[in-house]
């Protein structure tokens, strides 16, 4: 029987915020940062990965500020810096000097910003469809990003809106279980979330172009992309591949924005091989 959300659930005071997180395993620290979609949280992003990875690492999976069970502040200034500072505060609060980092989407951009601002705190990087990149060929905004910015508009969260968003996350719609759908719908309706939603079009987030600093990433970096990603399309990978000095790229066919969910077993082996 695998780990459960209840078994791994904890809270911590990290900087100015009270954050919820999941923790399991022993060994080198592995910080896993989730994406920014409606109803997102650490467990919903990485529930298919924590069992395998915690056999080798001390796995730490926070809910970012503004998501799931963490505090929901109004974010001002750079979105990526805000979340990177928050994750640094998590490492400080847990007395972790250095951690490998896995980041998906917004979590990937957060990981990049953390590595740029405090390189000494980061070991290796695993990035799945990270934000902050250079989209070369596909139309902008992407289909998934449009869902992000309209989810709380009008009549607010609905089953239809969440269905549209989740359809963009995976290649195979059958991968979205009823349990996951209901969990994310409930999480997207939590008190305070609509007010603090970082992708509110009435106060557009400041998302700095991290791609301009890719050449400053000194860490060994594994980039993982779903060829069929409709949120952060795969053409974002080429600037990373060209500019990050110590980089490798793995592409999954028939896979969307959630490689860690759709390709969980392969993903876990790939990450363990890279980090070990």
* Active-site amino acid positions: 257
Residue 197 and residue 66 in contact, taking contact as beta carbons nearer than 8 Å: yes
- The angle at the Cα of 162, spanning 59 to 21, to the nearest 5 degrees, equals 20
Secondary structure class of 114 (helix, strand, coil): helix
Residue 6, classified by CB atoms within 10 Å of its CB into exposed (0-12), middle (13-18) or buried (19+), is exposed
Tokens standing for residue 71: 């505090």
Q: What are the distances in angstroms from CA 142 to CA 145, 149, 152, 155, 203?
A: 5, 11, 18, 22, 19
- The continuous run of DSSP H or E covering 107 comes out as helix 106-117
What is the torsion angle, in degrees rounded to the nearest 10, for the CA atoms of residue 103, residue 106, residue 111 and residue 116? 150
Strand partners, 252: 226
Omega of the bond prior to 146 within 30 degrees of 0, cis?
no
Strand partners, 125: 101, 221
Omega of the bond prior to 53 within 30 degrees of 0, cis?
no
């Amino acid at each position: 029987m695998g780990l459960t959300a209840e078994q791994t659930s904890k809270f911590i005071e990290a900087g100015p915020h009270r954050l919820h997180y999941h923790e399991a395993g022993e060994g080198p620290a592995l910080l896993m940062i989730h994406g920014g979609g409606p109803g997102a949280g650490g467990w919903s992003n990485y529930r298919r990965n924590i069992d395998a990875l915690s056999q080798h690492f001390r796995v730490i999976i926070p809910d970012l500020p503004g998501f799931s069970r963490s505090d929901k502040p109004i974010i001002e200034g750079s979105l990526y810096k805000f979340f990177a500072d928050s994750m640094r505060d998590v490492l400080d609060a847990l007395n972790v000097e250095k951690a490998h980092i896995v980041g998906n989407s917004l979590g990937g951009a957060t990981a990049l910003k953390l590595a740029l601002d405090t390189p000494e705190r980061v070991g290796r990087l695993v990035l799945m469809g990270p934000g902050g990149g250079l989209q070369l060929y596909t139309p902008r905004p992407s289909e998934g990003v449009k869902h992000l910015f309209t989810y709380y508009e009008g009549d607010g969260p609905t089953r239809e809106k969440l269905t549209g968003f989740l359809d963009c996350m995976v290649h195979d719609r059958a991968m979205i279980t009823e349990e996951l759908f209901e969990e994310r719908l409930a999480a997207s309706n939590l008190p305070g979330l609509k007010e603090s939603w970082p992708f509110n079009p009435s106060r557009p987030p400041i998302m700095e172009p991290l791609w301009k600093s890719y050449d400053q990433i000194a860490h060994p970096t594994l980039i993982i992309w779903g060829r069929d990603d409709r949120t952060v399309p795969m053409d974002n990978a080429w600037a990373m591949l060209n500019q990050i000095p110590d980089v490798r790229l793995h592409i999954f066919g028939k896979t969307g924005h959630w490689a860690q969910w759709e390709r969980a077993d392969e993903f876990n082996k790939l990450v363990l091989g890279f980090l070990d």
